[in-house]
Structure 1
């Protein structure tokens, strides 16, 4: 198996894994293309060529990945095409955006705890509230420890 073949198979495997985790197929394939590319930026046309699809079919995928906070639009001097690149710290950015969803869930659960009386429903809701409160309190420290570890050079 050539290096290029292995790279493409690994990218497709990652994309299929992301699809299995609930991501839309084209978005997963486009994200994998960004992750496996050695180019600083990609255009919709670059993605279409890499994935063997039309440029139009990747536009929704790019929009979704931008909204997730994993890629960003950049200006490339001399080019009239839109260029996108992986964000610095893309995964902590994604986590931060998911953090706000957890905040919303926690707020809804709090209303549920207030709405029910003693019993099984209260136990379930209180457990959920306590779990998400714990996560929200611990996660920033985990992200900071991760960033410190990365700055210390202990990566593969």
Structure 2
């Protein structure tokens, strides 16, 4: 196998893994293309060529990955096409955005705790509430520790 073949197979493997985790297929393939690209930016045309699909078929995928906070649109002087690139802090951005979803779940669970009397349902809902509250309280410290580790700072 060539290096290019290995790269494409690894990208497709990652995309299939993301699909297995619940991501839409074309969004997963687009994300993998960004992750495995050596180019600073990609256009819809670049993605279409890389993935072997029409440019129109990648527009929804690009929109989805951008809404997740993983890629961003940037201006490229002299180009009339939309260019996108991976965010430098894509994963911590994604994690932070997922907190809003967890916040909504937590509010709904708290409502459920108040809606049921003592018993199994109350115990299950209370456990879920306590778990998500714990995660939300711990997450900022984990992200900070991760960023310090990435910068090569000693553990405190």
Relative to the length of structure 2, the TM-score reads 0.97
Q: Which residue of 2 aligns with 1:137?
A: 137
Matching residue of 1:125: 125
Aligned length: 154
Pairs within 5 Å for 1:1-156: 1-152=1-152
DSSP 3-state at the match of 2:23: coil
Kindly state the Cα deviation for residue 88 of structure 1 after the two structures are TM-superposed. 1.4
SS at match of 1:30: helix
Unmatched segments (≥5 aa) in structure 1: none
Give the Cα–Cα distance (whole angstroms) in 1 for the partners of residues 153 and 38 of structure 2: 21
**Matches of 1:10 and 1:120, distance apart in 2:** 46
What's the TM-score once normalised by structure 1's chain length?
A: 0.97
Note the C-alpha offset of 1:153. Answer: 7.3
Deviation at 1:104, TM superposition (A): 0.5
Partner Cα separation in structure 2 for residue 108 and residue 29 of structure 1: 33
Q: Which segments of structure 1 move beyond 2 Å, counting only runs of 4 or more?
A: none
Q: Provide Cα deviations, 1:22-58, integer angstroms capped at 9, x if missing partner.
A: 0000000000000000100000000000000000000
Quote the RMSD (CA, aligned, Å). Answer: 1.0
Q: Which runs of 5+ in 2 are unaligned?
A: none
Tell me how far apart the structure 1 counterparts of residues 95 and 8 of structure 2 sit (CA, whole Å): 27
For residue 38 of structure 2, give the secondary structure of its aligned residue in structure 1.
coil
* In structure 2, C-alpha distance between the alignment counterparts of 1:120 and 1:53, rounded to whole Å: 51
SS of aligned partner of 1:141: helix
